[in-house]
Amino acid sequence: STRQVWWLHGARDGTEHPFAKESRDLIAALPNAKSTVYYSRPTDTDRQGVDYLEASRLSAEPVRRLDLPTDADAYLCGPAAFMDSLTAALVDCGLDASRVHTEIFGAGPAITPGIKGASTAPAPHQPAGPPGTGPEVSFARSGLTIPWNDAQESLLELAEACDVPVQWSCRTGVCHTCELALMSGTVNYSPDPVEPPAEGNILICCSKPEGGVVLDL
Ligand code: FES
């Protein structure tokens, strides 16, 4: 690809820099890629100019100095506080907020399935729009049965359209946050989960019903 790629990475030092050589080699193979690596506390064996560029945290201040293209798409991965401050910095640099995409790396807020919060979320209901013509999807705990609609990309999307309480994180079959019991029926996956769910469970973020299904939701 001849597209511009800016690779920004922050680590404490070279011992905490995963895939350092792999990412360096991949970036070197792209004609218009730039790499900027920050070590907050480089060790004596870390080589400035080779392993890292600057002894600093990857934070708003150095990013503002980079003169990033303002029409870029940004993909951030890291702890929530890091992504919040970097998102603000990128928007400050002129990027459109809708083009800054984030994925949490590290602990997220607590997930407390089965505990009813003080939420004012509406009760589960039929989805808006014309009914689907596919097999029946039953949300057992919510007492809701709906014909599958191919307009939905996944069972998770259908549950969300019905305000059925769900939990999720990656939405691509990686984290298993959306894993739950399939009480009957079978599903198809797209994409396939990185690791299969436990026996009798499914990942609803990347699956669709093959026939009628009953979900523990
Ligand atoms: S939300 Fe991560 S696997 Fe489904």
184: β partners: 214
Does 87 have pLDDT greater than 60? yes
Report the SS3 class of residue 14.
Answer: helix
- Work out the average pLDDT over 85-113: 80
Better pLDDT: 106 or 28: 28
pLDDT of residue 110: 55
**What is the CA angle 44-50-51, rounded to 5?**
60
- Residue 156 CA to ligand 1 centre (angstroms): 9
CA of 60 to the centre of ligand 1 (A): 30
Under the banding of pLDDT at 50, 70 and 90, the label for residue 117 is low
Dihedral sign (CA 62, 64, 66, 72): positive
Residue 114 binned pLDDT confidence (cut-offs 50, 70, 90): low
pLDDT band at 122 (very low <50, low <70, confident <90, very high): confident
pLDDT at 36 over 80: yes
Indicate if the pLDDT at residue 112 is higher than 60.
Answer: no
Please tell me the least confidently modeled range out of 38-42, 126-130, 145-149: 126-130
Nearest CA to 99 out of 89, 110, 91 is that of 91
Rounded to whole angstroms, how far apart are CA atoms 189 and 210? 10
Q: What is the pLDDT of residue 76?
A: 93
| 8: Cβ contacts below 8 Å, ≥ 6 apart | 36, 37, 38, 58, 63, 66
What is the position in ligand 1's atom list of the atom closest to the CA of 193? 3
Q: What is the mean pLDDT of residues 93-110?
A: 79
Q: Answer yes or no: is pLDDT of 213 > 60.
A: yes
Nearest atom (ligand 1) to Cα of 206: 4
Which residues form ligand 1's pocket by a CB distance below 6 Å?
Answer: 168-171, 173-178, 203, 205
The predicted structure's pLDDT at residue 115: 56
pLDDT at 83: 86
- Ordered domains of the chain (ranges, CATH): 5-104 (3.40.50.80), 136-215 (3.10.20.30)
Return the structure tokens found at 46: 């870390």
Q: What is the pLDDT of residue 49?
A: 92
Which pLDDT belongs to residue 103?
Answer: 85
Q: What's residue 214's pLDDT?
A: 95
Per-residue pLDDT band at 120 (split at 50, 70, 90)? low
Nearest atom within ligand 1 for CA of residue 204: 4
Using DSSP's 3-state secondary structure scheme, residue 210 falls into coil
